[in-house]
A and B are shown apart, each in its own frame.
Chain A
Amino acid sequence: MFPERFNAIRGLDPGVLCSLLARSSRMKSDPGSFSTILKGKTVLQFFVENSTRTRLSFESATRRLGGMSLAFSPSSSSLSKGETLADTVNVIRQYGVDGIVVRHRSMGAPDFLADATGLPVINAGDGAHEHPTQALLDAFTLGECWGVDFSKAGAFRNRKIMILGDLRHSRVARSNIHLLTALGAELHLCAPATLGIPDLGLFPRVHVHSFPDEGIPEMDAVMTLRLQTERQNQGVIPSLPEYREFWGLTVERAKRMKTDSVILHPGPVNRGVEIDSEVADSGRSLILKQVENGIFARMAVLASVVGRMDS
Chain B
Amino acid sequence: MIRIENGFVVDPSQGVEGDFDLLIEAGRIKALDRPGSFAGLTVSESFDARGKVIVPGLIDVHVHLREPGFEHKETVASGSRAAILGGFTSIAPMANTSPVNDHPLITEAILHKARAAGQARVFPIGAVTKGQKGVELAEIGLMARAGIRAISDDGMPVMNSALMRRAMEYARMFDLPVISHAEDSNLSGGAPMTEGAVSSLLGVSGNPNASEEIMVAREIALCRLTGARVHIAHLSTREGLEIVKRAKEAGLPVTAEVTPHHLLLDEGSWLTGRHSCAHHQVRADYKMAPPLRSEQDREALLHALNSGLIDMVASDHAPHGCVDKETEIEIAANGILGLQTTVPLLLGLVNAKRMKLSRMVESLATAPAKLLGLQGLGTLKIGSHADLAVLDLNESWTLMPGDLVSKSGNTPFAGRTFQGKVLRTMVEGEWK
Of B203, B204, B329, chain A has the most CB atoms within 10 Å of the CB of B203
- Determine whether the beta carbon of B203 is less than 8 Å from that of A129: yes
Q: DSSP majority for the A interface? A: loop
Q: Which of B200, B203, B274, B322 contacts A86 (CB under 8 A)?
A: B322
Q: Which of B206, B323, B330 contacts A198 (CB under 8 A)?
A: B206
| In the complex with contacts A84-B326, A106-B329, A202-B201 CB distance below 8 A | yes
Complex interface: chain A residues within 8 A of B199 (CB): 198-199
Q: Does residue B331 face the partner (Cβ distance < 8 Å to A)?
A: yes
Q: Does residue A197 face the partner (Cβ distance < 8 Å to B)?
A: yes
Complex interface: chain B residues within 8 A of A1 (CB): none
- Determine whether the beta carbon of B278 is less than 8 Å from that of A115: yes
Q: Does residue B161 face the partner (Cβ distance < 8 Å to A)?
A: no
Complex interface: chain B residues within 8 A of A114 (CB): 275
Complex interface: chain A residues within 8 A of B283 (CB): 108, 112
Complex interface: chain A residues within 8 A of B276 (CB): 86, 89, 112, 115-116
Instruction: Report the bound CA distance from A300 to B330 in whole Å.
Output: 32
Complex interface: chain B residues within 8 A of A244 (CB): none
- Determine whether the beta carbon of A129 is less than 8 Å from that of B204: yes
Q: Does residue A91 face the partner (Cβ distance < 8 Å to B)?
A: no
Q: Which of B196, B202, B274, B322 contacts A107 (CB under 8 A)?
A: B202
- Determine whether the beta carbon of B274 is less than 8 Å from that of A109: no
Q: DSSP majority for the B interface? A: loop
- Determine whether the beta carbon of A129 is less than 8 Å from that of B331: no
Instruction: Report the bound CA distance from A195 to B199 in whole Å.
Output: 14
Nearest CB in chain A to that of B206: its residue? A198
Complex interface: chain A residues within 8 A of B430 (CB): none
- Determine whether the beta carbon of B327 is less than 8 Å from that of A197: no
Q: Does residue B416 face the partner (Cβ distance < 8 Å to A)?
A: no
Complex interface: chain B residues within 8 A of A129 (CB): 202-204
- Determine whether the beta carbon of A86 is less than 8 Å from that of B197: no
Q: What's the nearest-Cβ distance from chain B to residue A100, in Å?
A: 14
Instruction: Report the bound CA distance from A194 to B137 in whole Å.
Output: 37
- Determine whether the beta carbon of B202 is less than 8 Å from that of A84: no
Nearest CB in chain B to that of A109: its residue? B328
Complex interface: chain B residues within 8 A of A111 (CB): 275
Count of chain A residues near B, Cβ 8 A: 34
For A111-152 the 0/1 string (1 means CB < 8 A from B) is: 110111000000000011110000000000000000000000
Q: What's the nearest-Cβ distance from chain A to residue B321, in Å?
A: 11
Instruction: Report the bound CA distance from A174 to B202 in whole Å.
Output: 8
Which residues 306-351 of B sit at the A interface, judged by CB distance below 8 A?
A: 322-323, 326-331
Complex interface: chain B residues within 8 A of A128 (CB): 203-204
Q: Which of B197, B323, B328, B331 contacts A201 (CB under 8 A)?
A: B197
- Determine whether the beta carbon of B195 is less than 8 Å from that of A199: yes
Q: Does residue A103 face the partner (Cβ distance < 8 Å to B)?
A: no
Which residues 202-216 of B sit at the A interface, judged by CB distance below 8 A?
A: 202-204, 206
Q: What's the nearest-Cβ distance from chain A to residue B337, in Å?
A: 19
- Determine whether the beta carbon of B329 is less than 8 Å from that of A108: yes
- Determine whether the beta carbon of B203 is less than 8 Å from that of A127: yes
- Determine whether the beta carbon of A10 is less than 8 Å from that of B200: no
Q: Does residue A72 face the partner (Cβ distance < 8 Å to B)?
A: no
Nearest CB in chain A to that of B284: its residue? A108
- Determine whether the beta carbon of A115 is less than 8 Å from that of B279: yes
Complex interface: chain A residues within 8 A of B326 (CB): 84-86
- Determine whether the beta carbon of A198 is less than 8 Å from that of B200: yes
- Determine whether the beta carbon of A107 is less than 8 Å from that of B275: no
Q: What's the nearest-Cβ distance from chain B to residue A116, in Å?
A: 4
For B275-301 the 0/1 string (1 means CB < 8 A from A) is: 111110001000000000000000000
- Determine whether the beta carbon of B275 is less than 8 Å from that of A108: yes
For A87-112 the 0/1 string (1 means CB < 8 A from B) is: 00100000000000000111111011
Complex interface: chain B residues within 8 A of A105 (CB): 328
Complex interface: chain A residues within 8 A of B330 (CB): 79, 106
Q: Does residue B198 face the partner (Cβ distance < 8 Å to A)?
A: yes
Q: What's the nearest-Cβ distance from chain B to residue A261, in Å?
A: 28
Q: Which of A86, A107, A130 contacts B323 (CB under 8 A)?
A: A86
Nearest CB in chain A to that of B193: its residue? A107
Q: Which of B197, B279, B328 contacts A106 (CB under 8 A)?
A: B328
Complex interface: chain A residues within 8 A of B204 (CB): 107, 127-129
Nearest CB in chain A to that of B195: its residue? A198
Instruction: Report the bound CA distance from A80 to B326 in whole Å.
Output: 13
Which residues 42-65 of A sit at the B interface, judged by CB distance below 8 A?
A: none
Q: Does residue A207 face the partner (Cβ distance < 8 Å to B)?
A: no
Q: What's the nearest-Cβ distance from chain B to residue A171, in Å?
A: 6
Of A106, A112, A174, chain B has the most CB atoms within 10 Å of the CB of A112
Instruction: Report the bound CA distance from A81 to B222 in whole Å.
Output: 38
For A9-47 the 0/1 string (1 means CB < 8 A from B) is: 010000000000000000000000000000000000000
Complex interface: chain B residues within 8 A of A85 (CB): 326-328
Q: What's the nearest-Cβ distance from chain A to residue B332, in Å?
A: 9
Q: What's the nearest-Cβ distance from chain A to residue B331, in Å?
A: 5
- Determine whether the beta carbon of A86 is less than 8 Å from that of B195: no
Chain B contacts to A: CB under 8 angstroms: 195-204, 206, 274-279, 283, 322-323, 326-331
By Cβ-Cβ distance, the 6 closest A-B pairs, closest first, are A128-B203, A106-B328, A201-B197, A129-B203, A115-B276, A116-B276
Show 19 A/B contacts (Cβ-Cβ < 8 Å), sorted by A.
Answer: A10-B201, A85-B326, A86-B322, A86-B326, A107-B203, A108-B202, A112-B283, A115-B274, A115-B275, A115-B278, A116-B275, A169-B203, A197-B200, A198-B195, A198-B196, A198-B200, A200-B200, A202-B200, A203-B201
Chain A contacts to B: CB under 8 angstroms: 10, 79-81, 84-86, 89, 104-109, 111-112, 114-116, 127-130, 169-171, 174, 197-203
